[in-house]
Amino acid sequence: MSVAKEFHFQGIDIYIEDSVMDLFTAYKQHTKQDREGCGILMCSVDKNNSDIYINYATSPQTHDVRRRAYFFLKDKRHQERLDQVHKESKGTIFLCGTWHSHPEDKPKASELDVSEWKKFINGNSGVIQFFYFIIVGRKEIALYTYAEKDIKLISQRVKK
């Protein structure tokens, strides 16, 4: 496992693996024709639940709705991939959030992002304490979570 990024939040260390960062890089929106990339995040935790490893992310799929400044995860292959990874890992890797791109250098969550994340949180139960949401910008990524009844920016970091 090779880790490209590390974040810290409320005593938890969050690591994003190189392969996931490489996927994000492939979906940066550099031109006006580029549509938002999107997918789900899958992670594992250490035995003390203090380290989160974002091991996998799905890429945009054929039936997803993707526009310049909008996306909707519609393709059932995201769930199929989650089920496959969960089974192959014997239940040690599971859903932990979503990611999408923005056509800006320093991405910031929109009102629609926050609204959709709250729906996601209400519609999913997690093995981990927090769900995570990543926005991939042209130069930085932003990592958010839901804590204390609100969406919180954990960090914004320059990409590798």
- Per-residue model confidence (pLDDT) at position 127: 67
- The whole-angstrom separation of Cα 138 and Cα 27 is 9
pTM of the model: 0.91
pLDDT for position 143? 95
Angle at CA of residue 108, ends 106 and 79, nearest 5°: 110
Confidence (pLDDT) at 35: 96
The Cβ of residue 93 has, within 10 Å, a number of other Cβ atoms equal to 21
Q: Give me the mean pLDDT over the 68-81 stretch.
A: 95
- Predicted local confidence at residue 126, as pLDDT: 66
Query: With 90 as the cut, is the pLDDT of residue 147 above it?
Result: no
Mean pLDDT in residue range 55-73: 95
Q: Looking at the domain 3-158, which fold is it? A: Cytidine Deaminase; domain 2 (3.40.140)
d(CA 109, CA 127): 24
pLDDT bin (cut points 50, 70, 90) of residue 11 is confident
Output 117-125 pairs: Cβ under 8 A, ≥24 positions apart: 117/144, 117/146, 117/151, 118/146, 118/151, 121/146, 124/95
> Residue 51, exposed/middle/buried by CB under 10 A (0-12, 13-18, 19+)?
middle
Q: Are 97 and 72 in contact (CB under 8 A)?
A: no
pLDDT for residue 31 is more than 70? yes
pLDDT score for 12:
87
Tell me: pLDDT of 156 over 90.
no
Q: Tell me the mean pLDDT in the region 52-56.
A: 94
Query: What whole-number distance in Å separates Cα of residue 64 and Cα of residue 73?
Result: 5
Q: Does pLDDT of 88 surpass 90?
A: yes
CA distance 68 to 41: 21
Instruction: Give pLDDT, residue 148.
Output: 76
Q: What is the pLDDT of residue 122?
A: 86
Distance (Å, rounded) from C-alpha 143 to C-alpha 136?
A: 9
Six token digits for residue 37:
């990339």
Q: Is the pLDDT of residue 2 over 70?
A: no
- Residue 3's pLDDT is 63
How many Cα neighbours within 13 Å face the side chain of 140?
A: 12
Distance CA 87, CA 79 (A): 12
